[in-house]
Chains A and B, each alone.
Chain A
């Protein structure tokens, strides 16, 4: 064993001298009394906490101890305070020990533990490896997260069940990649008018206006959505449609297109997208999408009245806006070659021969005149890409032997090859990102980089640079990062990182009450997510300062969101960069509807939840969870007491005050925003007098008035969210460090710990001297030791 650190507590080694042991008197005086024995306070027992910092659990507990003493949370306020100096000696000493332990671990084993691909990475990797758009994610169990991200190696486990699913997923993917038909599925080309959609054809209620081929839709009721085409074969399809807005006062009419098997575009329907039909000018809209068998597409205008309202007037007299559809075309499945590219990528030009099975009399299979030779060649080239590195003949032998064995057991060549390909896709070399300790090899670097920015395997360019040993060259690496950020695949970085850093994956976790928030709808939800993702991408690609995440003078808005924010001059679904007018209270992620929604439940907001969220996600100082058995404070929706009053009472308790003095201020700063991110001066309330807008009674009224003012722990006061953002901006380095820590966690699959504090700070310092641009920060991270070492 190396040098083991002894931290003597009750179990102290007798030979230790007091000089070695600066912590002992402190612990005996302030900690042991409560934190010992069978039922220690806070479930933390210190009398048997060993000194073995090689042990992970022990290290975690020491971290915990350090946090509690540093933050002043422990010893509790009611107990005698230790002199500041003696607490500092102890925390310094623990820090030194933990740093040494961490450095030792880093040197021998690496900071990052062997990590398995999570299910998103698995799906993307298989897609790029095989060249098919297989939906495999749903076939795999949910991954667990640690430190806020689901790609942290520590939390990613393997089980026999998972292995079973991997076998199944590989089989599903290979089924899609390998063609067993002699010809491509027939290319279907259809053109139809909306009048053939059964909802239009069978509707007797006069809500559609029919003009020859053209049909105008005036209602957004789900049951009058127009469903058309029946997709029999899986594949990519191209859709084209000629549309325009009618009677829409020169504004575009927005509509959604969904795909699904429900016909009505119901629950299982996938949103293909929202589109704008320009006013009065028939315009052809075109898109391609991957379609599953037995599905259709459904068109529905957005934000038009319900069908009952239109019906009362009749479609001929109705003078409200409508969506005019002249014709709709479908073409697919689109296969440029046959067998498809995915098939040829595996088998090249190997011949196919008849191999009929039940129900498929024309079925063909790949055959070989030289099974052993073909197998070796095919498997080696497949494994190089699957293992993300060159492979030796020797290590391919077991896979070639597998083909031989299965063929000896009467499998056909193709069946045996499928088994071997599945084996490669189930192999630890495929499923795990293997990184030897120390500085990463170019190949390991290529994978780390690729899974960071693309959530998938390295492409040919990255892989060949790595094979030549050129990737770790600083300028080359820089150029590659530029290329990767500009690539469409970088959208997965935006989606997965914001999905977890900002919690956007939780957007559907609660459904806003339709009584309190009748204006919430699906397009608003989609727009919220899009704003944050586009904003993030804009800050990244244009290398704007990360301070924009705290406060910005622009955002990415479409018509729906602009209306939600009370900003004029933006119409339709399409997003654009919009300068924010004075007094909009928007700008930065904190005041985006998406973030405000995921930090609220369906009926009420809690300053505690939002405050804790800001401390964790923005400032990098997550508060400890509440002590057990403290009932949660719930906003009293009857409006009798405000959260402010409840919290004031709460804070009088010593045990609550130490955390709430930090949690409450950012929470209250966001009080002017409701559960869907709308601005409010008053809370919405179901009791009392109902509000009226344009003569229409709303199902809610004004409740108590919102008071967002508060004071930071250091005494700085703010009266509004705008002032609060200015206070955040004054210390943007704190935010930059917190963001960098999150990025490191996501990029490497392990959170930086106490020993890495200085290295994180150094990255931020370097980026700060260059203006703290987001892309600059990404460059500094990828160029850093922290990123380039296991």
Chain B
């Protein structure tokens, strides 16, 4: 019997690998003026919410008065918008809303039968992922992250900045490079074999089982495509950076320290154009974060029950978070790229899956959108009564990224009032 390889199958099935040849990688490099400037996206989630009374201004429009949290971002006022009144329709009050944060899949709080859908970053990566060495980067200070595949499987997040740094910037010794090449070749042969096996199983299965095997088969095919791209990239040297490799932060409750590491690494990844899509899941534990003036656990504080002492401590923690955001945005802005700067080409979406962690409410989510070539400097206030889908913002972001789509998740259009700079 002739052994039919996976690649053979892909060809015969008329599947072409939509991969640019190595030359076109170079032609797409951002130094080339003929190509459109790169657009990037960073999505950040604070899983224990942001205390919105300290965030949202009372007044909509451009001349709103700064609130305690926005005070921190005062110098960057024209580089961000604060958006109130957004929510994911059909995502109920629960910490489980985190699963739908970037996917908008309905009813994660009802576990049985819940199936996630593709997240914002992976959706964009399907279109733009081959432009960079890494299609996307999903980092997390928790066990799971924000990115999900089309089949509703979790994209395993990177938990350790030192590992990410090494993958992004460190060239191995010649023997390590050789080992890596062998692993890729092994991997592709293995996928060939198991893919063919999965295909031979298909006819023996009932329709529900076949769906599961299809998922497996698709996964094999997608990984194979990624390996082809990785193969191409492996011939190019990794970018050099001056920054020292980060030390992993091993303090379990160190929300601020861990966040700073992730943001620094994100900046490096964007600056070197190693990836254009980053998701960051911040820490949200019940531990006491090592921040002066904070004596109670973060989760406990988020359930403040209107206790003024707790709200005061929560404010300390969240102000530290806001300062990190400010530093990150300022650093992006200070990083020039041709005639522009990184912030102008990077949309930073900072938000939470909870509108109020105290009651697990998923309405009126705290949203800050910075940079990315949008016109900013305003408070976009949407009605709390008839919530506007957060997915509308996602569609606007995708379009600004250059992804041609009219729809994402539960969108009903783009986000009105949010315009691109000309």
Task: Give residues in A with beta carbon < 8 Å to B.
Answer: 43, 56-57, 60, 108-110, 113-116, 140-142, 144-148, 153-155, 157-165, 167, 171, 262, 266-268, 357-358, 394-395, 397-399, 401-402, 405-406, 409, 411, 415, 418-419, 422-423, 426-429, 431-432, 434, 436-437, 509-511, 513, 515, 601-603, 625-626, 628-632, 634-638, 751
Stretch of B24-32, B45-53, B186-194, B327-335 that contacts chain A: B186-194
Contacts A171-B183, A426-B194 hold; do A160 and B143 have CB atoms under 8 A apart? no
The SS class assigned to the A binding surface is loop
Q: 0/1 per residue, B194-229, Cβ < 8 Å to A?
A: 101110010011111100110110111111001000
* Shortest distance from the beta carbon of A371 to any chain B beta carbon, whole Å: 16
**Complex: A512 Cα to B298 Cα, angstroms:** 12
Determine if B113 and A144 form an interchain contact, defined as CB atoms under 8 angstroms apart: no
* B311 touches A (CB below 8 Å): no
Contacts A167-B187, A509-B286 hold; do A602 and B300 have CB atoms under 8 A apart? yes
Contact of A398 among B94, B196, B205, B215 (CB under 8 A): B196
Contacts A147-B112, A161-B156, A626-B93 hold; do A419 and B305 have CB atoms under 8 A apart? no
Chain A residues near B296: list those with CB within 8 A: 513, 515
Determine if A160 and B149 form an interchain contact, defined as CB atoms under 8 angstroms apart: yes
**Complex: A727 Cα to B378 Cα, angstroms:** 60
* Shortest distance from the beta carbon of B238 to any chain A beta carbon, whole Å: 19
* B326 touches A (CB below 8 Å): no
Contact of A511 among B183, B222, B286 (CB under 8 A): B286
Closest to A105 in B: B208
Closest 4 CB pairs of A and B: A109-B206, A159-B153, A160-B222, A141-B156
Q: List 5 A-B contacts (CB under 8 A).
A: A394-B1, A437-B206, A625-B94, A636-B305, A638-B305
Determine if B303 and A601 form an interchain contact, defined as CB atoms under 8 angstroms apart: yes
Contact of B153 among A162, A397, A628, A631 (CB under 8 A): A162
Chain A residues near B153: list those with CB within 8 A: 141, 157-159, 161-162
Q: Which chain B residues numbered 287 to 309 have a C-beta less than 8 Å away from chain A?
A: 287-288, 295-297, 299-300, 303, 305, 307
Contact of B149 among A159, A601, A628 (CB under 8 A): A159
* B173 touches A (CB below 8 Å): yes
Chain A residues near B174: list those with CB within 8 A: 358
Chain B residues near A357: list those with CB within 8 A: 175
Determine if A422 and B190 form an interchain contact, defined as CB atoms under 8 angstroms apart: yes
Closest to B89 in A: A43
Determine if A419 and B189 form an interchain contact, defined as CB atoms under 8 angstroms apart: yes
Contact of B151 among A158, A171, A406, A434 (CB under 8 A): A158
Determine if A510 and B299 form an interchain contact, defined as CB atoms under 8 angstroms apart: yes
* Shortest distance from the beta carbon of A531 to any chain B beta carbon, whole Å: 22
* Shortest distance from the beta carbon of B233 to any chain A beta carbon, whole Å: 15
Determine if B251 and A267 form an interchain contact, defined as CB atoms under 8 angstroms apart: yes
Chain B residues near A398: list those with CB within 8 A: 3, 193, 196-197
Contacts A159-B219, A631-B361, A636-B305 hold; do A165 and B156 have CB atoms under 8 A apart? yes
**Complex: A441 Cα to B250 Cα, angstroms:** 49
Determine if A406 and B186 form an interchain contact, defined as CB atoms under 8 angstroms apart: yes
- Residue from A144, A155, A431, A437 whose CB has the most chain B CB atoms within 10 Å: A144
Task: Give residues in B with beta carbon < 8 Å to A.
Answer: 1, 3, 89-90, 92-94, 106-107, 109-116, 143-144, 149, 151-156, 173-175, 182-183, 185-187, 189-194, 196-198, 201, 204-209, 212-213, 215-216, 218-223, 226, 250-252, 285-288, 295-297, 299-300, 303, 305, 307, 358-361, 363
Determine if B201 and A423 form an interchain contact, defined as CB atoms under 8 angstroms apart: no
Chain B residues near A602: list those with CB within 8 A: 286, 297, 299-300
* Shortest distance from the beta carbon of B124 to any chain A beta carbon, whole Å: 16
* Shortest distance from the beta carbon of A161 to any chain B beta carbon, whole Å: 5
- Residue from B189, B198, B205, B296 whose CB has the most chain A CB atoms within 10 Å: B189
**Complex: A758 Cα to B287 Cα, angstroms:** 47
Determine if B307 and A146 form an interchain contact, defined as CB atoms under 8 angstroms apart: no
Contacts A406-B186, A511-B297 hold; do A631 and B359 have CB atoms under 8 A apart? yes
* Shortest distance from the beta carbon of A650 to any chain B beta carbon, whole Å: 13
**Complex: A409 Cα to B303 Cα, angstroms:** 61
* Shortest distance from the beta carbon of B337 to any chain A beta carbon, whole Å: 30
Chain B residues near A159: list those with CB within 8 A: 149, 151, 153-155, 215, 219, 222
Determine if A632 and B185 form an interchain contact, defined as CB atoms under 8 angstroms apart: no
* Shortest distance from the beta carbon of A116 to any chain B beta carbon, whole Å: 7
Determine if B193 and A148 form an interchain contact, defined as CB atoms under 8 angstroms apart: no
**Complex: A155 Cα to B194 Cα, angstroms:** 22
Given A155-B115, A266-B250, A267-B251, 18 more contacts at CB 8 Å? A43-B90, A114-B208, A141-B144, A141-B154, A142-B154, A147-B112, A157-B151, A157-B152, A158-B215, A161-B149, A163-B191, A402-B193, A419-B186, A422-B186, A510-B297, A511-B299, A628-B92, A638-B307
* Shortest distance from the beta carbon of A479 to any chain B beta carbon, whole Å: 31
* Shortest distance from the beta carbon of A330 to any chain B beta carbon, whole Å: 25
Determine if B300 and A114 form an interchain contact, defined as CB atoms under 8 angstroms apart: no
**Complex: A418 Cα to B363 Cα, angstroms:** 52
Closest to A430 in B: B194
**Complex: A457 Cα to B39 Cα, angstroms:** 48
Closest to B114 in A: A146
Closest to A142 in B: B144
- Residue from A161, A401, A405, A601 whose CB has the most chain B CB atoms within 10 Å: A161
* Shortest distance from the beta carbon of A383 to any chain B beta carbon, whole Å: 11
Chain B residues near A146: list those with CB within 8 A: 111-114
**Complex: A146 Cα to B175 Cα, angstroms:** 45
Contact of B212 among A153, A163, A751 (CB under 8 A): A153
Closest to B205 in A: A114
Contacts A43-B106, A142-B144, A162-B153 hold; do A428 and B201 have CB atoms under 8 A apart? yes
Chain B residues near A637: list those with CB within 8 A: 305, 307
Determine if B209 and A113 form an interchain contact, defined as CB atoms under 8 angstroms apart: yes
Closest to B285 in A: A511
* Shortest distance from the beta carbon of A150 to any chain B beta carbon, whole Å: 11
**Complex: A160 Cα to B198 Cα, angstroms:** 14
Contact of B189 among A358, A397, A405, A632 (CB under 8 A): A405
**Complex: A266 Cα to B253 Cα, angstroms:** 13
**Complex: A67 Cα to B218 Cα, angstroms:** 36
**Complex: A510 Cα to B90 Cα, angstroms:** 27
Contact of A161 among B89, B93, B155 (CB under 8 A): B155
Chain A residues near B307: list those with CB within 8 A: 637-638
Determine if A427 and B111 form an interchain contact, defined as CB atoms under 8 angstroms apart: no
* Shortest distance from the beta carbon of A408 to any chain B beta carbon, whole Å: 11
Closest to A115 in B: B212
Contacts A159-B149, A423-B193, A751-B112 hold; do A632 and B252 have CB atoms under 8 A apart? no
**Complex: A299 Cα to B213 Cα, angstroms:** 50
**Complex: A98 Cα to B288 Cα, angstroms:** 50
Determine if A513 and B297 form an interchain contact, defined as CB atoms under 8 angstroms apart: yes
**Complex: A109 Cα to B189 Cα, angstroms:** 33
* Shortest distance from the beta carbon of B229 to any chain A beta carbon, whole Å: 12
**Complex: A699 Cα to B139 Cα, angstroms:** 39
Determine if A397 and B299 form an interchain contact, defined as CB atoms under 8 angstroms apart: no
* Shortest distance from the beta carbon of A517 to any chain B beta carbon, whole Å: 11
Chain A residues near B215: list those with CB within 8 A: 157-159
Determine if A402 and B190 form an interchain contact, defined as CB atoms under 8 angstroms apart: yes
